[in-house]
């Protein structure tokens, strides 16, 4: 069984999709994103999965996709922002090198764009939703993280450098 060299976690807007491929390129490793696996497996966008099947069904599929990726991918793996809230995923992350990209409210909201492409942030008060999401998840991210990078003041390239230093 292979194992990802690096797993990247963090809330929407923390830069996982930008930093993940760049870090993989820097390390000469392959990149994989659990959200892409979910879309490929379901044959539809994440917004449709949420709308048609609901968040619980999404989390079941997400846990399955993350477990598969953890078992067969040996490069850099980025997880969807909510993946670590599933207990089984948290257990599976034990023993992996997990980099937590942290982001504050202002930068996170700006980067996430609060677009409808993120179903959890598409409600009536996305800023409040995002704040609640950050507050609730911070301890969860920290529980599974090997180390944390504060990304607010950093360019993606600086985040990659910080990750390489931390590994």
Query: Which residues contribute to the site for ligand S3P (CB under 6 A)?
Result: 12, 16-17, 35, 46, 80-82, 118-120
CB of residue 75 to ligand S3P, shortest distance in Å: 17
Instruction: State yes or no: 16 annotated in a binding site.
Output: yes
Instruction: State yes or no: 127 annotated in a binding site.
Output: no
CB neighbour burial string for 93-106, b if at least 16 within 10 angstroms, e if fewer = beebbbbbbbbeee
- Comparing CB distances to ligand S3P, the nearer of 12 and 21 is 12
- Comparing CB distances to ligand S3P, the nearer of 35 and 148 is 35
Distance of CA 93 to CAs 25, 52, 72, 155, Å?
23, 29, 14, 27
Instruction: State yes or no: 35 annotated in a binding site.
Output: yes
Please, what's the largest Cα pairwise distance for the chain? Answer: 44
Instruction: State yes or no: 18 annotated in a binding site.
Output: yes
43: left (phi over 0), alpha (psi -120 to 50) or beta: left
Instruction: State yes or no: 97 annotated in a binding site.
Output: no
CB of residue 120 to ligand S3P, shortest distance in Å: 5
CB of residue 124 to ligand S3P, shortest distance in Å: 17
CB of residue 10 to ligand S3P, shortest distance in Å: 7
- Comparing CB distances to ligand S3P, the nearer of 2 and 87 is 87
Query: Minimal CA–CA distance to 35: which of 68, 7, 64, 62?
Result: 62
Query: Minimal CA–CA distance to 27: which of 89, 77, 80, 101?
Result: 77
Phi/psi at 31 (5° precision): -115, 145
- Comparing CB distances to ligand S3P, the nearer of 9 and 28 is 9
* Residue list for the binding site: 13-18, 35, 59, 81, 118, 137
* Residue list for the binding site for substrate: 35, 59, 81, 137
């Amino acid at each position: 069984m292979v194992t990802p060299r690096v797993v990247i976690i963090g809330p929407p807007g923390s830069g996982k999709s930008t930093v993940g491929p760049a870090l993989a390129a820097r390390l000469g490793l392959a990149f994989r994103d659990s959200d892409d696996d979910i879309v490929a497996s379901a044959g539809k966008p994440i917004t449709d999965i949420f709308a048609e099947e609901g968040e619980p069904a999404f989390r079941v599929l997400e846990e399955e996709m993350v477990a598969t990726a953890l078992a067969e991918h040996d490069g850099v793996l980025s997880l969807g922002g909510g993946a670590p809230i599933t207990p089984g995923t948290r257990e599976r992350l034990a023993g992996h090198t997990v980099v937590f990209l942290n982001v504050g409210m202002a930068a996170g909201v700006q980067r996430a764009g609060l677009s409808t492409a993120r179903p959890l942030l598409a409600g009536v008060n996305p800023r409040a939703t995002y704040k609640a999401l950050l507050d609730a998840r911070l301890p969860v991210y920290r529980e599974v993280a090997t180390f944390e990078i504060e990304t607010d003041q950093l360019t993606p390239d600086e985040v990659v450098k910080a990750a390489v230093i931390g590994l």
